[in-house]
A = this chain, B = another copy of it.
Amino acid sequence: MVATEFALDRVLKTPISAPHALPPFARSTVDGYAVLAEDTYGANTGLPAYLSLVGEIRMGARADIQISPTQAALIHTGGMIPQGSNAVVMLEDTQKLGTKEIEVYKPVASGDNILQEGEDIHKGDVVFTSGLRLRSQDIGGLMALGITEIEVAKRPRVGIISTGNEVIPPHEDAKPGQVRDVNSYTLAALVKRAGGEAVRHGIIKDEFEQIYAAAKRAHEENDIVIITAGSSVSAHDITSDVINALGDPGVLVHGISIKPGKPTILAVADGVPVIGLPGNPVSALVIAGNFLTPLIHMLLGITDPSPVPRINARLSINLNSQSGREDYVPVQLVETTDGTMAEPVFGRSNLIFTLIRADGLITIAPEVTGLPAGSDVIVELFPW
């Protein structure tokens, strides 16, 4: 249970029914006079209807005036329609004569300028389904119904293990041959954005026993386990062995036809999803966006994920792609006189700066062998 006011981006765990109608009473949609519609029939500027002014409906109070035929009461936008009235004449279609009488220059029909009780929401309507990730307006809607506390899905805990003899914590000076840990932090940020809670389980040397010990603890304490492998081939093999030792069925998929990210491992160990990510920071983030984000959404119970934000653009250069493999290419969006161009960002290194220089990714489908310059492409903005 959380306070609704702090629930932005949380996911509703249970559907919510309206405890009362909205609006809860018939209200005026304009500033004017509450009248009986029949009293205004045929009125025009040459022959106005004359009504006696019996008072004012104060905002925020019960309308305790009773309107009888040939009577009118001043009412403000949002004011409660008084008993006996069935329409509101707009202020600009009237003229006040002294303090006790008004002239009406335009007829109104029954219901005009009135929002009826329950016109928006009926009592008992299911107004929010479970699995909704709350936006600003959803918080407003809950407040309108007086629902100031709600049950939300627990944030899935994602345990992150970085491996590699060459990897050191970011605050340390890198000696020759060493690189600072990037993946623990990019993945933790991605997890946070996806709605999960990241738990870093440290940087572990490329040895089976050490990785197994860290993975076992992460497996016991979290809802999802992520292991980013060292970059060598033997390191991948250790990751795979560790995952198989964690529980059944173990590794389901080892290697996927995606670039970057080929050496990805997808696994389940005793009911806990485990993902082995490539150590390369670009691959790790692209694969996490494709597999980890949807997994977190699934555990949160999100039923209808937001559409992926995307921008239509034209490709600036020719791109080759291997048939049978899905390629993700980081691109920069550049506005030109010819429209929005997508300029691929290349980095042989696949260091994280390739993604830093990019605005989003374009996908080249497995059956496509390349895209010529000028192709219409859809750029998916980074969801992380």
Contacts and interface: CB of A to CB of B under 8 A. Distances in A.
Interface of A: 4-5, 8, 20, 22-25, 29, 31, 57-63, 76-80, 91, 115, 119-121, 127-128, 135-148, 164-168, 170-183, 185-190, 192-193, 206, 230-235, 279, 281, 285, 306-307, 309-312, 333, 347-349, 351-353, 355-356, 359, 381-382, 384
B115 A349 contact: yes
Contacts of A29: 348-349
Nearest to A335: B307
A352 B22 CA distance: 10
Given A59-B164, A63-B177, A78-B166, A193 B8 contact: yes
B140 A183 contact: yes
A185 B144 CA distance: 10
A176 B140 contact: no
A192 B5 CA distance: 11
Stoichiometry, as copies per complex, reads 2
Given A135-B382, A137-B356, A309-B310, A179 B78 contact: yes
Contacts of A62: 175-177
A358 B177 CA distance: 53
A231 B78 CA distance: 7
B59 A166 contact: yes
B353 A232 contact: no
A59 B137 contact: no
The 7 tightest CB contacts between A and B, nearest first, are A309-B309, A60-B166, A76-B232, A136-B189, A140-B186, A137-B355, A60-B165
B148 A170 contact: yes
A144 B381 contact: no
A206 B59 contact: yes
Give the residue among A61, A181, A186 with the most B Cβ atoms within 10 A: A186
B170 A146 contact: yes
A267 B292 CA distance: 46
Contact of A140 (B234, B285, B359): B285
B137 A285 contact: yes
Nearest to A306: B381
A383 to B, nearest CB: 10
B143 A176 contact: no
Contact of A232 (B31, B63, B307): B31
Contacts of A231: 76-78
A31 B237 CA distance: 14
Contacts of A78: 164, 166, 179, 230-232, 279
Contacts of A179: 23-24, 78, 144
Contacts of A312: 312
Contacts of A167: 60
Give the residue among A115, A137, A188 with the most B Cβ atoms within 10 A: A137
Given A24-B174, A312-B312, A143 B185 contact: yes
